[in-house]
Amino acid sequence: MEHMIDIAPDIRLWVEESGDRTAPPLLLIMGANASGLAWPEPFVEALGRHHRVIRYDHRDTGRSTEIFGERPYAITDLARDAVAVLDALEVDRAHVVGMSMGGMLTQLLLLDHPDRVLTATFIGTTPLGGIPFEAPGFPPEFLALWEEMGAARDREAEIDWRVRHWELLHNDPGDGVGIPFDPEEFRRLEERIITHTGRHRAPVAHAAAGTDGLDRGPELAAVTVPALVIDSPNDPLAGSSCAHALAGAPGNARLVTIPGMGHALPGAVLPRLAELVLGHTSPPEERRR
């Protein structure tokens, strides 16, 4: 079921509900400049067998309102959007799974709205105010590609750019071979996102969004909500060092490694990832077993 939800004056978000509507809610929060459709369908379907799955397009992505050019905002505003989605769907508490920037937003939810979060799962996430991205350590082609972000391209050239971006995110060359990259898998993903969005111009607003209010890492020590941190050792942005730092921040966190995983969600990791998330979101007595 799809919705268009008004979360602020002149700002509407595309939201989708799927899965078992009678089961505990699970909110998926995607990363920067990414539509909710970046969550792979097999992963969403696997979670939906045990949860009411909610995913959405951040503002300035997908079918949600483009507003940054007229009304710039901060990353913290995107965290408030997540709460607004829960409010609009009358969800008191939800399991929350955040990818990349979505994991940063999940940390903000744990700090400001712990009563709304049943469990938290982090994928490819840096701790708030913690380990910064070390740009000099990135391959030169990575930095060159980012300089082209938002450039005018036709549809096919834009898809080519996005697939190349996924390829670099998929595996850190310094950490070994990792999981083989299938360009056609990510080409199909981006074609689907572009069809959903109705335009092929790349979203870039979140790269320019304000970062005030994110230096709150020490506050995570007081968090008692059960947290699962996925260690993606081949991730060039938020690899094992970030995962270990994040797992050591909240008071009730567990770290699990998916060997070969990078900063992407290829089909090869989805069964294990779904298994881990569903194990984490199961009732406490089942988690103990």
- Dump the DSSP string for 204-229: -HHHHSB-TT---GGGGGG--S-EEE
Alpha carbon 203 to its chain's center:
15
Cα separation, 178 vs 191, in Å, equals 25
Just list the catalytic residues.
100, 235, 263
In the chain, the amino acid numbered 177 is: V
Both tokens assigned to 64: 């949600």
Question: What's the pLDDT at 135?
Answer: 42
Quote the radius of gyration of the chain (alpha carbons, Å).
Answer: 18
Check residue 286 and give its pLDDT.
Answer: 58
- Please report the pLDDT score of residue 146 as a whole number: 82
Q: Give the pLDDT confidence score for residue 183 in this predicted structure.
A: 96
Give residue 98's pLDDT: 98
Using one digit for the tens of pLDDT, what is the confidence trace for 149-174? 888 899 999 999 999 999 999 986 55
pLDDT for residue 261: 95
103 φ/ψ angles, rounded to the nearest 5 degrees: -70, -30
Cα dihedral sign, 185-26-34-219: negative
- CATH homologous superfamily of 2-141+205-288 equals Alpha/Beta hydrolase fold, catalytic domain (3.40.50.1820)
**In the chain, what are the domain boundaries?**
2-141+205-288
Res 236: pLDDT: 87
Tens digits of pLDDT across the chain (289 residues): 999 999 988 999 999 999 999 999 999 999 999 999 999 999 999 999 999 999 999 999 999 999 999 999 999 999 999 999 999 999 999 999 999 999 999 999 999 999 999 999 999 999 998 654 544 456 677 778 888 888 889 999 999 999 999 999 998 655 556 799 999 999 999 999 999 999 999 899 999 999 999 999 999 999 999 999 999 999 988 989 999 999 999 888 999 999 999 999 999 999 999 999 999 999 766 555 5
Phi, psi angle pair for 132, to nearest 5°: -80, 160
Q: What is the pLDDT of residues 48-85, one digit of tens each?
A: 999 999 999 999 999 999 999 999 999 999 999 999 99
* Predicted local confidence at residue 136, as pLDDT: 44
